[in-house]
């Protein structure tokens, strides 16, 4: 049974898409990371933030469903059509919101971003509301010099700086890079576009270490080390680095 938000506050629900057919790392969503299934990192941080009326995991896989429930999430059994490697995340979200339309703000959380902590959700929601936004994206500020190479001539050119005036880090604000950790979308925007981002967009800047991605075993070992230092463990103690 769903709970109503306090009077005057929006009803915010979270959804973590987690299909069983991950390509790079088989069953990545429940692969142990420091002894916890990957999905548990996303669910625990979301629940401990206290901002969500409900936290759901959308999956087509029995083992993922079982781990999601153990973590405290509700489970939505997505269809085979929205669980293929070519199905968009938006298609899975449309399927979910059609079945569960009772929300004011929808939060899409990526299970592959285990470095999100509860405070990220609370601060991002505050920013979303302060901006009167329709959607919110998370990003990381990185001081990286970007280049392009012409595929015809092979000539290289700088994208975001002038090589003749190479800026010092302290004199340059850097680039904001979408890290894919989570997104907020107002119901009105979602119903009119079925897209996670649009309208008046807000941005929540996260710590640089949250840019890490989980696409290979090497990535996994790197992120495990970062989780030891920066991850959310709730009442549990921090383990030694893996």
DSSP-derived secondary structure letter, 241: P
Beta bridge partners, 148, equal 157
CA distances from 58 to 91, 180, 195, 221 (A): 12, 17, 17, 26
Q: Residue 177 is inside which H or E element, if any?
A: strand 175-186
- Measured CA to CA, the distance from residue 56 to residue 138 in angstroms comes to 20
The answer to whether residues 200 and 134 touch, using CB atoms and an 8 Å cutoff, is yes
Q: Which residue is catalytic, options 166, 168, 196, 238?
A: 166
- Measured CA to CA, the distance from residue 115 to residue 40 in angstroms comes to 12
The answer to whether residues 196 and 107 touch, using CB atoms and an 8 Å cutoff, is no
238 catalytically annotated? no
Beta bridge partners, 33, equal 36
Residue that is written with structure tokens 């079925």 in the block: 194
List, by residue number, the catalytic residues. Answer: 166
């Amino acid at each position: 049974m769903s709970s109503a938000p306090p009077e005057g506050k929006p009803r915010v629900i979270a959804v973590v898409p987690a299909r069983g057919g991950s390509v790079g790392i088989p069953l990545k969503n429940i692969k142990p990371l420091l002894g916890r299934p990957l999905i548990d990192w996303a669910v625990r941080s979301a629940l401990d933030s206290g901002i969500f009326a409900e936290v759901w995991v959308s999956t087509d896989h029995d083992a993922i469903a079982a781990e999601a429930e153990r973590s405290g999430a509700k489970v939505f059994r997505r269809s085979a059509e929205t669980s293929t490697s070519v199905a968009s995340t938006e298609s899975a979200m449309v399927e979910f919101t059609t079945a569960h339309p009772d929300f004011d703000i929808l939060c899409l959380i990526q299970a592959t971003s285990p470095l999100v902590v509860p405070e990220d959700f609370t601060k991002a929601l505050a920013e979303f509301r302060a901006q009167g936004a329709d959607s919110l994206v998370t990003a990381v500020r990185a001081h990286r010099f970007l280049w392009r190479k012409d595929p015809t001539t092979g000539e290289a050119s700088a994208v975001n700086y002038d090589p003749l005036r190479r800026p010092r880090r302290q004199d340059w604000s850097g680039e904001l890079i979408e890290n894919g950790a989570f997104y907020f979308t107002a119901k009105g925007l979602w119903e009119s576009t079925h897209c996670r981002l649009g309208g008046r967009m807000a941005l929540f800047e996260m710590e640089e270490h949250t840019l890490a991605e989980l696409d290979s075993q090497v990535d996994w070992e790197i992120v495990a080390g970062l989780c030891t230092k920066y991850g959310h463990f709730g009442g549990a103690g921090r383990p030694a680095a893996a």
